Amino acid sequence: MRLTQGCFSFLPDLTDDQIYKQVQYCLANGWAVNIEFTDDPHPRSTYWEMWGLPMFDLADAAGVMMELAECRRVYGDRYIRLSGFDASHGWESVRISFIVNRPPQEVEFELLRQEVAGRSVRYTTVRRPPQHVSP
Amino acid sequence: MNAHTGTVSGKERYRSGVMEYKRMGYWEPDYVPKDTDVIALFRVTPQDGVDPIEASAAVAGESSTATWTVVWTDRLTAAEKYRAKCYRVDEVPGAPGQYFAYIAYDLDLFESGSIANLSASIIGNVFGFKPLKALRLEDMRLPVAYVKTFQGPATGIVVERERLDKFGRPLLGATVKPKLGLSGRNYGRVVYEALKGGLDFTKDDENINSQPFMHWRERFLYCMEAVNRAQAASGEMKGTYLNVTAATMEDMYERAEFAKELGSVVVMIDLVIGYTAIQSMAKWARRNDVILHLHRAGHSTYTRQKSHGVSFRVIAKWMRLAGVDHIHAGTVVGKLEGDPNTTRGYYDICRDDFNPMKLEHGVFFDQSWASLNKLMPVASGGIHAGQMHQLLDLLGEDVVLQFGGGTIGHPMGIQAGAIANRVALEAMILARNEGRDYVHEGPEILAKAAESCTPLKAALETWKDVTFNYQSTDTPDFVPTALAAV
Amino acid sequence: MLDLPHARSADASGNEAPLPASFDLRNEAEAAGITATLQQLDQELIGLKPVKDRVRQIASLLLIERIRQRAGLVSSPPTLHMSFTGNPGTGKTTVALRMAKILHGLGFVRRGQVISVTRDDLVGQYIGHTAPKTKEILKKAMGGVLFIDEAYYLHRPDNERDYGQEAIEILLQVMENQREDLVVILAGYGERMTNFFASNPGFRSRIAHHIEFPDYSEAELLFIGELMLRERGYRLSAAARKAFVDYIALRRTQPLFSNARSIRNAIDRMRLRQADRLVSDLDRMLELSDLETIDSADVLASRVFGGGPVVDGQAAGSAK
């Protein structure tokens, strides 16, 4: 299953040049850029692990790419995402977020149904254990 | 035109009988509106032979303290404070016989946090006033002091994005079609296919409530099965606007509660339920962490004609105060009414914290929103993937793009339709952020993205350059050099 | 404008317009802003002819390099790291700013900002502290110029386990591998820089351009002083000018002399003494000329004439 969170998951995986341009777009907007990684990409898993602090005050995306390379070296087997954070009044939130690294075998979820009163069903999305391990 | 007519004062003012409105204190060309005044701008079309100043003063009078004759009981009140004051009347550029009347109302005339009271005051009686041929409420300036008495959007754009974990691009939706006749089970199929394909939201149409072919509980149960399945299949948050519009508040609360119990992130109401019901639902939505979608059903009956009714920009302002999270605000390029400049004005009203006066967008006043949440505009009706560059350019990124026919009508099926829209959108955002001239290179960018996406290729071929190019009826009337009040 | 890493190689391989056969050098230089930047440098720095000549040479080299690349006569991306040696107050920081502008104008750096640091900004206090600190600075400098003042403090020959070594290693790696991403300028006193390069051959080999900043002559310092006074709306009386000439001659021989910076500090103190002198006599009527004139007494009261060194360090530290 291809996890479709983030801004560009329906496009082919971004090349480093494409990532560089998106990061530069964030910097040009005055946003801080944050690198996060996780092995728990559940749709409600908000807090991925932070790879260091968000990067403030950079002029050029090469600095972010340097950290991303390092993060991939250590956590290349996990999901890694970049986000741009806008501290201006009225936003003070993430303004863009996209996946820049996927594990060799993507996560699978399944739906657990608990039948409750009448025809109602309580749904829980859980991670399906890997069916087979890639060589 | 804006000359004094001499307001009568003292004993003379309250002598029994009929007196011209403009001499009763409803025409005060020297009046400077206070920061706390509510200001309304009306387009007044007097009957032949009626003095425009007198007609405008009458609008001020009839929308505040006046009645057709002098009443002595005025003297038991601080009447001068409560009188609405028309302080400026301009000829409408290019529309002979029509006048823009600026009228200021003291804040004490209104109940805190009540759209019902605000609208009953401003548009309650006066629209049927015989000396006028027609009357239109064009715009309002709502003072910060009044804005602060309203809840505002239950969730707001920022928190909606945080909850859904969707940033940096418009959200994608589709209205389930056909509007009428699908059973709950069939209806849920459309929802599942569209969400699994890649949309963020699906939507009930305005008249999907609880009919013989599909009662509301059936719809809710099947829709939530579809939403949850699609969520597990994509690993991404999904939602469907469950329309809880019903005959009574009790019914609406019941439906909304059920939607919440089933885990829906969003419910939907129609504008026709009325302002009070909308405010009640906004409170319910805030209390229950549910996004509130508003369909502007019925608005065109009074917003579309330029000479009579209420402009949609006023409705948009009222709805931001009332507290809905989504509002249909036009597409420009789609099948429904929408002049680009006027529509731009609506979008600004929904999303900005401060709207500067912009006559070319039909915005007559500076309006501060005092940090009230932002309201997400929704573009819906006759739009398709091939217009993605235009939509992004005209509507920006904080918008829900609803591709109903443009998803469900895809020749390869609903999932393919959803994929086409999502790929087109992401490719366009990518290009925009890279600094490309995406508006002009749009077709090229889409064609390139379609090379590795057959569904998009099929969509582009099917709808090619379908557009709805008709003359808009509701366009701003302004002279670029004209000065507006305040 | 080069706005992306590797954009040049992409251009070369892409189906670009055919290469021009001839180049209008004047247009090229003006388009890159070199002409204006060199003029600016000429105006804002007094004297320093050898430095200006070197800057002009480097600018010319880079301009030709850029044109050669466009003409398809490309070699690998050039090494652009530099060292600026000379005593304090000789204009190294100002030249670094202009150099960044030239590099940016020609597209050798993408953004053109100058990040100015010293050892304390790069080197940490405990194990594991230095690498993040150095990287933090490097990230901010990406796309621009990293100016390391008194670079020799990074290296402490007496302490093998000094954390400075870690910073040096990271710097060397980035200077080698990310030549397209940033330009490093190492700066400091001439002699100490020579020793530093001798014990750190890695730096020596990665530096392409050395610029020496000579001390100002006494005449230049006087000119600078009078210019600074004019900018502040003051002038020297004839006697004061004579005293100032003596002052400069004396001050140069004393410790902690830092060229233009010392002159600026001297002027600030002269203004203080002038104000003090004027206010000490509250009963007199002031003329406009009193307000703008520095008198010999304002100069001669300096401790420089008493044989003791002035405390220059404090003011110098805050004068960046």
Per-residue pLDDT, A135: 52
Give the whole-angstrom CA distance, residue A127 versus residue A106: 11
Using CA coordinates, name the residue in chain A closest to C134: A63
Q: Which among C265, C283, C112 has a CA at the least distance from the CA of C183? A: C112
Q: Which of A43, A91, A93 has its CB closest to that of B235? A: A43
Find all residues with CB under 8 Å of A11, minimum gap 6, and list them.
B423, B426, B427, B430, B449
Q: How confident is the model at residue B467 (pLDDT cuts 50, 70, 90)?
A: low
Residue pair B375/B319 in contact by the 8 Å Cβ criterion: yes
Percent of chain C with pLDDT over 90: 47
B226-261 confidence digits (pLDDT tens): 999 999 999 999 999 999 999 999 999 999 999 999
C32-42 confidence digits (pLDDT tens): 888 888 888 88
ipTM above 0.90, yes or no: yes
Per-residue pLDDT, B71: 83
Residue in B133, B177, B308, B335 annotated catalytic: B177
How far lies B60's CA from each of B132, B310, B470, in Å? Answer: 13, 16, 36
Give the whole-angstrom CA distance, residue B381 versus residue B216: 24
Q: Is B308 a catalytic residue?
A: no
Mean pLDDT across chain B: 93
Q: How confident is the model at residue C316 (pLDDT cuts 50, 70, 90)?
A: very low
B435 C-beta neighbours (distance < 10 Å), count? 12
What is the three-class DSSP state of C131? Answer: helix
Per-residue pLDDT, B214: 96
Average pLDDT over residues C278-290: 87
Put simply, whether A91 touches B (Cβ < 8 Å) is yes
Per-residue pLDDT, B164: 97
Per-residue pLDDT, B9: 82
Average pLDDT over residues A12-35: 98
B445-463 confidence digits (pLDDT tens): 999 999 999 999 999 999 8
Contacts of C139 in chain A (CB under 8 A): 55, 58, 62-64, 66-67
* DSSP-assigned letter for residue B2: -
How far does A41 lie from chain C, in Å, by closest CA?
Answer: 28
Torsion sign over Cα B174, B180, B184, B190: negative
| C143–A62 CB contact, under 8 Å | yes
Average pLDDT over residues B17-38: 92
Residue pair B263/A123 in contact by the 8 Å Cβ criterion: yes
List residues of B whose CB lies inside 8 A of any A CB: 158, 161-162, 165, 167-169, 198, 217, 221, 224-225, 228-229, 231-237, 261-263, 353, 371, 374, 419, 422-423, 426-427, 429-430, 433-435, 449, 452
Q: Which among C292, B126, B233 has a CA at the least distance from the CA of A5? A: B233
B132 C-beta neighbours (distance < 10 Å), count? 21
In the structure encoding, which two tokens stand for residue C12, read together? 């070369």
Contacts of A110 in chain B (CB under 8 A): 232
Per-residue pLDDT, C28: 84
Per-residue pLDDT, B486: 39
Per-residue pLDDT, C241: 93
Q: Is B4 a catalytic residue?
A: no
A 74-103 → C contacts, CB under 8 A:
none
Q: At what angle do helices B312-322 and B340-351 cross, to 10 degrees?
A: 10
Q: Is the pLDDT of residue C319 over 50?
A: no
Give the whole-angstrom CA distance, residue B225 versus residue B228: 5
Q: At what angle do helices B438-451 and B454-463 cross, to 10 degrees?
A: 130
Per-residue pLDDT, C30: 86
B37-96 confidence digits (pLDDT tens): 999 999 999 999 999 999 999 999 999 988 777 788 888 888 889 999 999 999 999 999
Q: Give the bridge partners for C183, in sequence order.
A: C145
Residue in B22, B85, B203, B295 annotated catalytic: B295
C178-221 confidence digits (pLDDT tens): 989 999 999 999 899 999 999 899 998 999 899 999 988 899 99
How far does C51 lie from chain A, in Å, by closest CA?
Answer: 28
Range from A90-104, B121-135, B324-338, C104-118 that averages highest in pLDDT: A90-104
Put simply, whether A105 touches B (Cβ < 8 Å) is no
Find all residues with CB under 8 Å of C123, minimum gap 6, and list them.
C130, C133, C134, C154, C162, C163, C164, C166, C167
Average pLDDT over residues B126-136: 91
* DSSP-assigned letter for residue B214: B
Find all residues with CB under 8 Å of B259, minimum gap 6, and list them.
B220, B242, B244, B267, B290
Q: Is the pLDDT of residue C14 over 80?
A: no
Chains A–C, number of C-beta pairs less than 8 Å apart: 47
Per-residue pLDDT, B186: 96
In the structure encoding, which two tokens stand for residue A36, read together? 């996060």
Contacts of C4 in chain A (CB under 8 A): 17, 20-21
Touching B (3+ Cβ pairs <8 A), the chains are A
C 114-173 → A contacts, CB under 8 A:
132, 135, 138-144
Q: Which of C113, C132, C181 has its CB closest to that of A62? A: C181
Cα atoms in the 13 Å half-sphere on the side-chain side of C214 = 14
Cα atoms in the 13 Å half-sphere on the side-chain side of A84 = 26
CA B88 vs. chain centroid, Å, equals 27
In the structure encoding, which two tokens stand for residue B406, read together? 């443009």
Q: How confident is the model at residue B354 (pLDDT cuts 50, 70, 90)?
A: very high
B364-374 confidence digits (pLDDT tens): 999 999 999 99
Percent of chain C with pLDDT over 70: 89
Q: Where are the extended beta strands (E) located within B15-170?
A: 38-46, 85-91, 99-105, 132-141
Give the whole-angstrom CA distance, residue A91 versus residue A83: 14
In the structure encoding, which two tokens stand for residue A95, read together? 């303004």
Torsion of the alpha carbons at C149, C154, C156 and C157, rounded to the nearest 10: -100
Using CA coordinates, name the residue in chain A closest to B369: A90
Per-residue pLDDT, B236: 97
Using CA coordinates, name the residue in chain C closest to A59: C140
In the structure encoding, which two tokens stand for residue B17, read together? 């009988």
B436 C-beta neighbours (distance < 10 Å), count? 16
Question: Does B70 or A36 have the greater pLDDT score?
Answer: A36
pTM > 0.95: no
Per-residue pLDDT, C3: 57
* DSSP-assigned letter for residue B10: G
Strand B291-295, strand B326-328: pairing? parallel
Q: Is the pLDDT of residue C2 over 50?
A: no
B168-195 confidence digits (pLDDT tens): 999 999 999 898 999 999 999 999 999 9
Q: Which of B167, B232, B237 has its CB closest to that of A111? A: B232
Q: Is the pLDDT of residue C20 over 90?
A: no
